[in-house]
């Protein structure tokens, strides 16, 4: 062990001497590097030899490396050899899936979301099915075991035994197929003249999917279009360029990457003829729209090609590169930043200043720089892309959150599905008052908790009073206040009837029309969509927004 320590220290000192021999003592930067490497090596040696408990050198060193990396930005990371091997062996070969999202619900291995291929069919899986056996192997209540068995080579098949609510046990054979998640899981018409494209990623072929969706929508009569980039985490830079190119001229700048080293600097222009330069466009963003999504949104805004609606985007405008290190370790390091056509960076100024929901925290006006769009409209940096029409983040009522937290919409769907009747399409399917009343009656003996904002404030007041010793003084007034603020389930359900009926609709729609149906149904109770329809339907407002502001 002592020989290993000496050898490690000797190698470290060779590195220090080597750096010294190739640099000048007059160079302050290199001197500081050498100085601190020497301090670090000495510290490591002394802690390793003197600390009361035995130290694992790998763990100890990685803690220090991770701390150094985290002081830079959230995306610069170190990967030791053992983690790289885990990643390499995670996927060996091509595996298929049963075409369904499986999860653990109340201790049961349950089908959460069948996607219609290949699980759909004569006896396909349905939402709510409990998987009991796979090829004769018992997986009841064992999610890890079920996950292991529910994959295999494409074109093979599995024999499943499931427990279907209201039906009983069924034997189902499903074929495995290579699954490729689309980047455009839904497109359709919001009304007679406004189409919408939901884009969820930026993998290979994304721009082709978006272009095809736009062509179909125009064929259906779309004269205006909404591009929904909400909760899109980004992906390939070239696909961000190509999606932007659908709406801007060939040769126009999309994004620059600028770093410390000259070779990291690059300019990305639109390479193809655009698909449509005229169709009025609204782009939706929220606090989870990141990276490539922000590039597309920023390009559309900078060229005044369309309006942005929703919430400020995430603020991730950094370029990473993976570099090999010694002993088969690797490092992913930030090498440049994205700059969109106006010249602004989309990267958040303060990496750590974020709200609990992940959105960019408040930025002082003094830290923000003013830029201009092509038409002369003011736009700002500091963190993400600011929408032209901000919309407050839509929040569910406390009672809806309480019901969702206990999976009670899901359970009611299992209980009531056979009574819901024929469902031919999403738009015309509605939850009747009778279904709503049946849900209220079914919910009566179900356990779930929730608190209104007022109740939470009063409860906090009681806690503060107890801590400060003043509870006895205000107890007489506090009791009636708590009683007055106490919620009534029936009253709260009726006060939020429209929201409850919408969530019930999504629950039943997803069982018939899968994820596409859920997305379409969600658009009917969506503040961002309502604002987009309003703006696109008002040509004067739309055009005025894109003009230079004096």
One DSSP character per residue, 9-64 reads HHHHHHHHHHHHHTS-TT-HHHHHHHHHHHHHHHHHHHHHHHSSS---HHHHHHHH
* Residues 320 and 233 grouped into a single domain: yes
Q: Does residue 72 belong to any structural domain of this protein?
A: no
- Where a domain ends, among 390, 407, 435? 390
* Residues 516 and 421 grouped into a single domain: yes
**220: β partners:** none
* Helices (runs of H) and strands (runs of E) counted in the chain: 17, 19
Q: Does residue 351 belong to any structural domain of this protein?
A: yes
Report CA-CA distances (Å) from 480 to 4, 114, 462, 490: 72, 50, 13, 21
Is residue 528 within a helix (H) or strand (E), and if so which, with residue range?
helix 527-537
| Pairwise CA distance, residues 325 & 348, whole Å | 29
* Residues 131 and 144 grouped into a single domain: yes
Residue 324's contacts (CB-CB under 8 Å, 6 or more residues apart) are 330
Q: Which residues of 21-42 are buried (b: 16+ CB within 10 A; e: fewer)?
A: eeeeeeeeeeeeebeebeeebe
| Pairwise CA distance, residues 136 & 173, whole Å | 12
* Residues 469 and 413 grouped into a single domain: no
- The pLDDT, as a whole number, for residue 87 is 38
Domain of residue 412: give its range.
Answer: 398-450+488-525
| Pairwise CA distance, residues 520 & 189, whole Å | 9
pLDDT tens track, the chain, 550 positions: 555 555 555 555 555 555 555 445 556 777 888 888 888 888 888 888 888 888 888 888 888 888 888 888 777 888 787 665 443 433 333 334 566 778 888 888 888 877 654 444 445 788 888 999 888 888 898 878 887 777 655 556 788 889 888 888 888 888 766 556 789 999 999 999 999 999 999 999 999 999 999 999 999 999 999 999 999 999 899 999 999 999 999 999 999 999 988 888 999 999 999 999 999 999 999 999 999 999 999 999 999 999 999 999 999 988 888 888 887 888 888 889 999 999 999 988 776 667 766 667 777 777 889 999 999 999 999 889 999 999 999 999 999 999 999 999 999 999 998 898 888 999 899 999 999 999 999 999 998 888 777 777 878 888 888 888 888 888 778 777 777 766 778 888 999 999 999 999 999 999 989 889 999 999 999 999 999 999 999 999 999 999 976 5
The structure tokens listed for 484 are 């007055």
- 199-243 per-position pLDDT tens digit: 999 999 999 999 999 999 999 999 999 999 999 999 899 999 999
* Beta strand ranges found along 147-287 (DSSP E): 157-164, 168-175, 186-189, 194-198, 224-228, 253-259, 266-269, 281-285
| Pairwise CA distance, residues 330 & 323, whole Å | 6
* Residues 276 and 137 grouped into a single domain: no
Strands 330-339 and 253-259: antiparallel
Q: Does residue 543 belong to any structural domain of this protein?
A: no
Total number of domains constituting the chain: 5
Q: Does residue 80 belong to any structural domain of this protein?
A: no
| Pairwise CA distance, residues 116 & 445, whole Å | 34
CB 130 within 8 A of CB 108: yes
CA 262 to chain centre: 33
* Residues 197 and 239 grouped into a single domain: yes
* Residues 364 and 471 grouped into a single domain: no
The structure tokens listed for 221 are 């009569």
- 396-412 per-position pLDDT tens digit: 999 999 999 999 999 99
* Residues 507 and 404 grouped into a single domain: yes
* Residues 321 and 417 grouped into a single domain: no
- Where a domain ends, among 147, 175, 203? 175
- Where a domain ends, among 129, 156, 175? 175
The domain that holds 372 is classified in CATH as 3.90.226.10
* Residues 363 and 411 grouped into a single domain: no
| Pairwise CA distance, residues 225 & 282, whole Å | 7
* Residues 288 and 207 grouped into a single domain: yes
Report CA-CA distances (Å) from 398 to 34, 297, 359, 462: 58, 32, 21, 21
- The pLDDT, as a whole number, for residue 3 is 53
Tell me the chain's radius of gyration from C-alpha atoms.
Answer: 29
Strands 330-339 and 318-324: antiparallel
* Residues 337 and 218 grouped into a single domain: yes
Q: Does residue 171 belong to any structural domain of this protein?
A: yes
The structure tokens listed for 246 are 């659908």
Q: Does residue 537 belong to any structural domain of this protein?
A: no
Q: Does residue 539 belong to any structural domain of this protein?
A: no
Q: Does residue 292 belong to any structural domain of this protein?
A: yes
Residues 77, 83, 86, 87: what is their CA dihedral angle, to the nearest 10 degrees?
20
The 8-class DSSP code of residue 514 comes to: H
- Residue 255: which of 200, 204, 287, 296 has the closest Cα? 296
| Pairwise CA distance, residues 118 & 139, whole Å | 21
- The pLDDT, as a whole number, for residue 119 is 47
């Amino acid at each position: 062990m002592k020989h290993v320590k000496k050898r490690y220290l000797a190698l470290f000192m060779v590195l220090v001497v080597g750096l010294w021999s190739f640099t000048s003592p007059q160079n302050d930067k290199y001197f500081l590097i050498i100085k601190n490497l020497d301090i670090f090596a000495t510290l490591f040696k002394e802690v390793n030899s003197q600390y009361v408990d035995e130290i694992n050198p790998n763990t100890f060193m990685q803690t220090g490396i991770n701390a150094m990396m985290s002081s830079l930005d959230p995306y610069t990371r170190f990967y030791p050899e053992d983690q790289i091997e885990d990643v390499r062996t995670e996927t060996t070969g091509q595996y298929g899936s049963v075409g369904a999202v499986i999860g653990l619900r109340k201790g049961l291995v349950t089908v959460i979301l069948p996607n219609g291929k290949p699980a759909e069919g004569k006896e396909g899986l349905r939402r709510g099915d409990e998987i009991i056996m796979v090829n004769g192997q018992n997986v009841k209540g064992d999610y890890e075991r079920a996950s292991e068995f529910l994959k295999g080579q494409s074109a093979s098949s599995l024999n499943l035994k499931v427990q279907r609510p209201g039906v009983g046990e069924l034997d189902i054979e499903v074929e495995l197929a290579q699954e490729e998640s689309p980047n455009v899981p839904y497109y359709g018409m919001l009304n007679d003249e406004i189409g919408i494209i939901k884009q969820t990623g930026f993998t290979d072929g994304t721009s082709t999917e978006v272009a095809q969706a736009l062509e179909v929508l125009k064929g259906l009569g779309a004269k205006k279009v909404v591009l929904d980039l909400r909760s899109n985490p980004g992906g390939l830079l070239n696909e961000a360029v190509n999606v932007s190119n659908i709406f801007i001229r060939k040769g126009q700048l999309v994004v620059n990457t600028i770093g410390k080293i000259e070779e990291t600097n690059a300019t990305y222009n639109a390479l193809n003829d655009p698909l449509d330069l005229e169709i009025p466009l609204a782009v939706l963003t929220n606090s989870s729209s990141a990276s490539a999504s922000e590039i597309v949104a920023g390009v559309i805004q900078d060229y005044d090609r369309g309006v942005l609606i929703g919430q400020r985007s995430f603020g991730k405008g950094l370029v990473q590169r993976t570099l090999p290190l010694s002993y088969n370790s690797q490092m992913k390091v930030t090498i440049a930043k994205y700059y969109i056509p106006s010249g602004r960076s989309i990267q958040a100024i303060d990496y750590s200043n974020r709200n609990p929901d992940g959105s960019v925290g408040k930025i002082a006006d003094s830290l923000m720089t003013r830029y201009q769009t092509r038409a002369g409209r003011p736009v700002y940096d500091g963190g993400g892309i600011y929408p032209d029409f901000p919309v407050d983040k839509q929040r569910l009522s406390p009672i809806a959150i309480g019901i969702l937290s206990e999976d009670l919409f899901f359970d009611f769907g299992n209980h009531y599905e056979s009574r819901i009747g024929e469902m031919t399409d999403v738009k015309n399917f509605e939850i009747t008052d009778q279904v709503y009343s049946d849900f209220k009656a079914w919910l009566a003996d179900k356990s779930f908790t929730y608190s209104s904002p007022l109740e939470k404030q009063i409860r906090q007041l009681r806690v503060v009073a107890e801590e400060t010793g003043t509870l006895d003084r205000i107890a007489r007034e506090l009791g009636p206040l708590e009683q007055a603020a106490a919620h009534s389930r029936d009253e709260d359900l009726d006060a939020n009837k429209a929201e409850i009926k919408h969530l019930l609709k999504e629950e039943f729609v997803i069982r018939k029309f899968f994820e596409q149906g859920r997305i379409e149904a969600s658009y009917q109770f969506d503040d961002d969509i309502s604002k987009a329809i309003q703006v696109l339907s008002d040509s004067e407002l739309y055009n005025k927004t894109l003009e230079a502001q004096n």
